């Protein structure tokens, strides 16, 4: 059995940060030992480097070049240029295994994506980009093992919901500093579309966003993405491991559905289709993701015989959310969250998979959340957090709860095929959960899957909406009430911001939750909160007693 190589032993943290062009507290600098450092320091590569979507012999590499002073993101200005790239077997680039040239320019906002093939499986590589004598910071990445390789362990960071104005991306820094991850899974809300002041920390702008207004145009989304790529913690994590990402609603607009969004007003913001296309273009340019020919993002990646990861898109094909005003029935079989094609692809993929563990990168929670008996003091802030309309709807219509038919089709198919070892890893809800996936018909017996939900990197959650201290008596009571009403929810914590670390081994899949001390402080610490795991052959989850 093989353990996929990790950064442990391969490179220490200080070296990694230096290679990534970062040093603790020093921000972006050129890699000290590399040629072209003076030019790089002047800002040819201001937005870091990234890699994504590992394949057994391939990896996607990303950067952005600023060849002239006027080539700023979103400007449409600047020349077409040729950028070189190198991928090497060593951090010092004495053993370059592939290199090449790629053209970029204002038509793609001077972003660069290179899909490298012909590499060795399960291998660590280092990569960099060059332009007229300047070298980018160095990134470290890793290919996936061959599809039939016997793999005994895979470890990944899991994140979602990073509002720039609500704090610093310390969650990304702590993940980068671990040095033991094979990859990072981002479940969406990598950016938010809001204008300044609209989604800070309890209304306080910790750091102002760009552009200041809500993002609507292509230039707006490019500028917002570019701002995020200047964050040193985000750059460090992108430069240290490959990411596997999907989008949720805020990459376009709040509570998006296939043909609109809660936060889109056609009368003042124009055609939604044009806004969606603009945001998706900027996303494709700025994110290290391999999109399908028609731009679709749902896809499946495999790590040997151990893991198959199905990344979902729960925005592009979904029916409009139900509401007391516009109507709609959460049980209507004609309504869909995934779209027919994607649901069939997901179901067939899970049922037919030959991998030990079937993970689902699931942007919104799939476990039921019955809110009907919660008291008004909790339903109010929970409703604000979840966007529940106060007009008689008592589930969160934006998560799978609002699309019962799709969920039941999926769960019924898993049960009919006796498919085991399915784990949903979920974001969106800004709070931390360990759930068993059940349906109303079966109650809490025989769950079909486990679901582990990670908190927000920074975005507001329950104590922020309640206006109380984190972990206070009302939050404890809130968690107890939610669990009492929803017995498949084994653990919920409503106040922490941070990240998850998922470790998959041949006999269990374990999530550990880490929360930040204070998201509004740049160098805040993270602490372990709890761990939950599921063993093979059963979807019953159990609490772990100590950090791993
Ligand atoms: Fe979010």
In order along its 548 residues, the chain shows pLDDT tens digits of: 556 666 544 444 444 444 444 333 332 223 333 333 333 445 899 999 999 999 999 999 999 999 999 999 999 999 999 999 999 999 999 999 999 999 999 999 999 999 999 999 999 999 999 999 999 999 999 999 999 999 999 999 999 999 999 999 999 999 999 999 999 999 999 999 999 999 999 999 999 999 999 999 999 999 999 999 999 999 999 999 999 999 999 999 999 999 999 999 999 999 999 999 999 999 999 999 999 989 999 999 999 999 999 999 999 999 999 987 777 889 999 999 999 999 999 999 999 999 999 999 999 999 999 988 888 888 888 888 887 876 667 789 999 999 999 999 999 999 999 999 999 999 999 999 999 999 877 777 889 999 999 999 999 999 998 899 999 999 999 999 999 999 999 999 999 999 999 999 999 999 999 999 999 999 999 999 999 999 999 999 999 999 98
Please give the C-alpha separations between residue 375 and each of 94, 163, 382, 430, 468, in angstroms, as whole numbers: 64, 29, 11, 20, 17
- Cα(42) to ligand 1 centroid in Å equals 35
CB-facing half-sphere around the CA of 417: CA atoms within 13 A: 16
What was the pLDDT predicted at 328?
84
The whole-angstrom separation of Cα 139 and Cα 235 is 10
- Cα(545) to ligand 1 centroid in Å equals 29
- Cα(228) to ligand 1 centroid in Å equals 15
What was the pLDDT predicted at 373?
80
Beta-carbon neighbour count of residue 297 at 10 Å? 22
- Cα(482) to ligand 1 centroid in Å equals 20
What was the pLDDT predicted at 371?
87
- Cα(458) to ligand 1 centroid in Å equals 9
- Cα(36) to ligand 1 centroid in Å equals 39
The whole-angstrom separation of Cα 242 and Cα 186 is 11
The whole-angstrom separation of Cα 443 and Cα 446 is 8
What was the pLDDT predicted at 231?
98
- Cα(396) to ligand 1 centroid in Å equals 14
- Cα(188) to ligand 1 centroid in Å equals 7
- Cα(15) to ligand 1 centroid in Å equals 33
- Cα(198) to ligand 1 centroid in Å equals 13
CB-facing half-sphere around the CA of 100: CA atoms within 13 A: 10
Name the 3-class secondary structure at 35.
coil
- Cα(216) to ligand 1 centroid in Å equals 18
- Cα(456) to ligand 1 centroid in Å equals 7
- Cα(251) to ligand 1 centroid in Å equals 10
What was the pLDDT predicted at 391?
64
- Cα(543) to ligand 1 centroid in Å equals 26
What was the pLDDT predicted at 346?
98
What was the pLDDT predicted at 26?
30
- Cα(457) to ligand 1 centroid in Å equals 9
Alpha helices by DSSP H, listed for 144-245, are 170-178, 218-228, 232-240
- Cα(66) to ligand 1 centroid in Å equals 30
What was the pLDDT predicted at 409?
95
């Amino acid at each position: 059995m093989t353990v996929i190589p990790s950064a442990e032993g391969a490179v220490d943290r200080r070296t990694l940060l230096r290679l990534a062009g970062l040093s603790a507290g020093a921000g972006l600098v050129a890699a000290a030992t590399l040629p072209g450092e003076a030019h790089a320091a002047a800002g040819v590569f201001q937005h870091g480097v990234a890699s994504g979507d590992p394949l057994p012999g391939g990896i996607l590499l990303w950067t952005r070049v600023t060849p002239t002073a006027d080539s700023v993101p979103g400007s449409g200005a600047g020349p077409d240029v040729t950028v070189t790239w190198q991928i090497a077997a060593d951090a010092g680039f004495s053993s370059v295994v592939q290199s090449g040239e790629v053209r970029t320019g204002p038509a793609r906002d001077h972003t660069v994506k290179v899909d490298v093939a012909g590499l060795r499986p399960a291998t660590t590589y280092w990569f960099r980009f060059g332009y007229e004598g300047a070298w980018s910071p160095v990134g470290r990445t890793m290919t996936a093992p061959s599809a039939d390789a016997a793999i005994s362990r895979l470890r990944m960071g899991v994140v979602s919901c990073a509002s720039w104005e609500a704090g610093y991306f310390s969650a990304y820094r702590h993940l980068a500093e671990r040095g033991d991850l094979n990859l990072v899974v981002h479940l969406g809300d990598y950016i938010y579309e809001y204008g300044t002041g609209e989604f800070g920390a309890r209304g306080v702008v910790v750091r102002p966003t760009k552009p200041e207004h809500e993002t609507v145009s292509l230039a707006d989304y490019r500028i917002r993405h570019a701002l995020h790529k200047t964050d040193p913690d985000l750059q460090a994590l992108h430069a240290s491991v490959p990411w596997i990402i999907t989008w949720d609603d805020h990459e376009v607009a709040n509570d998006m559905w296939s043909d609109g969004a809660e936060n889109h007003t056609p009368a003042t913001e124009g055609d939604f289709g044009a806004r969606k296309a603009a945001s998706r273009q900027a996303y494709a340019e700025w994110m290290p993701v391999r999109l399908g020919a028609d731009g679709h993002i749902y896809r499946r990646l495999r790590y040997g015989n151990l893991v198959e990861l199905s990344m979902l898109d729960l925005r592009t094909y979904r029916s409009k959310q139900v509401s007391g005003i516009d109507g709609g029935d959460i049980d209507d079989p004609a309504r869909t969250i995934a779209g027919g094609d994607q649901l069939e692809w997901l179901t067939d993929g899970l049922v037919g998979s030959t991998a030990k563990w079937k993970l689902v990168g699931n942007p919104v929670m799939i476990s039921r959340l019955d809110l009907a008996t919660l008291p008004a003091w909790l339903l109010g802030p929970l409703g604000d957090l979840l966007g529940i309309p106060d007009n008689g709807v008592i589930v969160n219509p934006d998560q799978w709860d609002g699309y019962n038919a799709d969920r039941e089709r999926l769960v019924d198919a898993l049960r009919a095929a006796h498919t085991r070892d399915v784990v949903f890893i979920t974001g969106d809800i800004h709070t931390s959960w360990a759930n068993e996936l059940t349906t109303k018909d079966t109650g809490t017996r025989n769950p079909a899957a486990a679901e582990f939900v990670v908190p927000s990197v920074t975005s507001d959650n329950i104590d922020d909406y309640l206006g109380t201290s984190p972990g206070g008596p009302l939050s404890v009571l809130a968690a107890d009430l939610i669990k009492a009403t929803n017995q498949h929810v084994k653990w919920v914590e409503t106040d922490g911001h941070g990240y998850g670390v998922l470790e998959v081994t041949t006999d269990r899949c374990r999530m550990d939750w880490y929360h930040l001390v204070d998201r509004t402080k740049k160098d805040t610490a993270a602490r372990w909160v709890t761990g939950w795991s599921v063993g093979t052959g059963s979807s019953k989850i159990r609490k772990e007693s100590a950090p791993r």
